[in-house]
Chain A
Amino acid sequence: MIKVRERDEYTFGESAYVPEILKGLGVTLKHLSINLLKPRRDRLTATIRYPEEKREYPQRFRGRHRLTRRSDGSPKCVACCMCATACPAKCIRIAAEEHEDRTIEKRPSSFQIDLFRCIYCGLCVDACPEDAIRMDTGAHPVPMYEREQGVWKMQELLSLEGREQMTE
């Protein structure tokens, strides 16, 4: 069933323009005065002035990846390439080399994550058997001027710190 709603006719006051214009001026003046005169927290402006102000990320935001270290500071990674295999975006590149310690066997000579390809799914973290890669920095990828800067090298990944552990 189709319900047809007849258009309302304009009343004389509405078609006389001037009263309605004054009403409209009242609305804009209200916004103007609230945003000009009230203290900042009471204003209607929702803008976050980005470089100076940043939005608070939620507690459970994981952020960018980092590589964890052993107690001597060397990477925990054993270059097994399980993260690279699990990665649906194929953004992880690992080159392996022999480790002096025979019980560890391998270590990465280079470990790169291409941030332009990464989809931040976290599957690499799930796949890692050594807890060597984590996404717990809470850091947002920073803007960059060169494309090469978008590929994160091992040193940079190792240098990041994890955010404080959330209480379970």
Chain B
Amino acid sequence: MDLFNLIAVLVKLAVMFGIALGLAALLTWFERKQSAVIQDRVGPNRANLGRFTFKGLLHIVADTVKLFIKEDFIPRDADRFLHTLAPMFALFAVVSTLAVIPFVSPVAILGREVSGVIAEVNLGILVVFALSSIGIYGAIIGGWASNNKYSLLGGMRAAAQMISYEVTMGAAVIGLIMVYGTLRLDQMAAAQGDIMWGFLPKWGIVTQPLAFVLFFTAAIAESKRTPFDLPEGESEIIGYFVEYSGMKFGMFYLGEFIAIVITSALVTSLFLGGYHIPYLMDDGFRFPLGVDILVHPWAVAALRFASFLGKLVFMCLLQLQLRWTLPRMRYDQVMRLGWKVLLPLSLANIFITGLWLGIK
């Protein structure tokens, strides 16, 4: 790898990490504030710099400082090694998924083409599934190593739930793989810039509407949030991180919020056209009635990056809104929904997609 590529990858890493971590940190504040406003409360507004509270935004800083200086407690009979390892697994799995998510179309810099994704892996979407499977270990090891029956219960629930919903998630994506004929997320995103029948953008949500609902549901279940927050079940078993404190808990917590960002990024690049804006081609807008507006390639790249960010934030907010709308499901309901409803539907979706492609 030469210097140019190295710098390009480092810059892309910085961009992606900045987006994911910054957004995750903002979301912790946003979730508290949004839930408060929805429930007719005021929400965090006390942390301040002198007279300025910035609508409670400083609580992010206060929380971080608190997590760092808190005692790092490990129960006497816990497995110290695994207890420390588990939050690393949880955070590593979600953060490394960032590598395969395309955030902008390929850009030409100094006469060389730079792709808008950190790692151009041929397996693409499979990497996502592999890494999210590793994420399960974070929950189950944490639950097991704490030597606490509630955390073990939480860990077991997490494992069972994530394994069942990953099947649906994978099956839902197969429809997309059939339509776009590639496993690579960047190619999938690029293919969504096409126009069908002269006017319809070929976004995943247009070609695979059912898969969108299935994938989004399964992805929320994967990130263990309401209505699928049984592994946590804060009012009953607290979950696999009962025995965690300080920054180790912070890593689980941060991992959960980064998982929201990742879920949004995946849904965006699989179903919402990735970085694409309808009718914006590589050299400018080309509207169906023959109206063309040419735009500089750099402006196109900037617009596309902005559109990716916009869709990302929108999906994040939608997930938070869903979390404060829906009640938690019972465990058997979650399993019934996963195996008896979502999985057959996703298989039917593959079948119908196959028929449709065959007829065409």
Contact = CB atoms under 8 A, between A and B. Distances in A.
Interface of A: 18, 21, 24-25, 27-29, 31-32, 35-36, 43-47, 49
A45 B42 contact: yes
A47 B42 contact: yes
Interface of B: 34, 37-42, 45, 213, 321-322, 324-326
B325 A35 contact: no
Given A32-B38, A35-B40, A45-B41, A18 B322 contact: no
Interface-centre pick from A27, A35, A43 (highest chain B CB count, 10 A): A35
Main secondary structure of the interface of A (DSSP, over half): helix
Given A21-B326, A25-B322, A25-B325, A32 B41 contact: no
Nearest to A27: B325
A31 B325 contact: no
Given A25-B322, A31-B38, 4 more contacts: A24-B326, A29-B321, A31-B40, A45-B41
Contacts of B324: 28
Contacts of A43: 40
Contacts of A35: 37-38, 40
Contacts of B321: 25, 28-29, 32
A55 to B, nearest CB: 15
Contacts of B41: 45, 47
B97 to A, nearest CB: 26
A18 B325 CA distance: 13
Contact of A24 (B39, B40, B213, B325): B325
Contact of B322 (A21, A27, A31, A46): A21
Nearest to A16: B341
Contacts of B45: 49
12 contacts: A18-B213, A21-B322, A21-B326, A25-B322, A27-B325, A28-B38, A28-B321, A28-B324, A31-B40, A32-B34, A45-B40, A45-B42
